[in-house]
Amino acid sequence: MKDEVRSSGKTTLAPEVLLTIARMSALSMDGVSHLAPVPGGFDRLFRQGSDSGVQMSVEDGIVYIELYVVLKKDFNVREVSRNLQTQVARAISEMVGMEVGHVNIHIEDIDYKDE
């Protein structure tokens, strides 16, 4: 008997799925208070995810991410930023199998309100 490898179809991925993975991954990180709106002018309206603190583009199957975050007080900015880059890239790569070109972190503010 001969084993046959058969394709079971194809999977398509909505851009919102990538945005959700990046957003949830960032928000689960220690030191992140919340995501900040993506700054910008008129062209901001046409960028994917610009209202959610995540700006993302996909070129030739490679994902490029810009994260706009507000950090909690008393956390090391450099350490949180590096951990964010690693965690978000890993989440995209492991969950959907796409290569991540870069994850740029934009610290928009520090949250000093009383907890």
Query: Residue 67: its pLDDT value, please?
Result: 96
Q: Which ranges constitute the DSSP H helices of the chain?
A: 15-27, 77-96
Domain boundaries, the chain: 15-111
Q: Which residue has the higher pLDDT, 2 or 104?
A: 104
pLDDT in tens, 7-56: 788 888 888 999 999 999 999 999 999 999 988 754 444 445 445 799 99
pLDDT at 109: 94
Report the C-alpha gap between 40 and 26 in whole angstroms: 21
pLDDT of residue 11: 83
C-alpha neighbours within 13 Å on the C-beta side of residue 70: 13
45-104 pLDDT, tens digit per residue, is 444 544 579 999 999 999 999 999 999 999 999 999 999 999 999 999 999 999 999 999
Tell me the CATH number of domain 15-111, given options 3.40.190.10, 3.30.365.10, 3.40.50.10540, 3.30.70.1350.
3.30.70.1350
